Amino acid sequence: MKSKPEEFWKTKLTPEQYRVLREKGTDMPFMGEYVSNHEEGVYECAACGQELFRSSEKFDSGSGWPSFYDVAAAGHVDLREDNSMGMRRTEVTCSNCGGHLGHLFPDGPIDKGGQRYCVNSVALKFDPKKDK
């Protein structure tokens, strides 16, 4: 799916999804649909449907974005150095479609590996039928 032209994504995604997933935008903090979601299930890529994160790895980081300490499966996300906005960060993208999901920070729960995948709600789709 990474080879799909941008015109494909413009017709498949909402304008807000396109801004975040394809143009590397960001949700407003504390405003996203999944920030306070505590249901059991799986979070998938809103663009291509690949499983990304499980509710069992979600935690309240207080950051204003959905946060996870691990991915659903190895190889489902790609990590890239991101030096935009005068910061050095690690960008998280969907390995299937290349959509921008958010960033990875080293301030997650220490007892769970210390990582925090900080993800935009609009980049996700939630499936409550899975992860049970």
Q: Indicate which residues carry an active-site annotation.
A: 118
Bridge-partner residues for 84, per DSSP?
none
Name which of 52, 34, 55 is nearest 104 in CA terms. Answer: 52
Work out the number of other CB atoms within 10 angstroms of the CB of residue 18.
19
Q: What is the DSSP letter of 108?
A: S
Q: How far apart are CA 113 and CA 6, in angstroms?
A: 36
Q: Are 66 and 37 in contact (CB under 8 A)?
A: yes
Give the Å distances, CA to CA, from 29 to 11, 34, 35, 111, 127.
Answer: 26, 11, 9, 26, 22
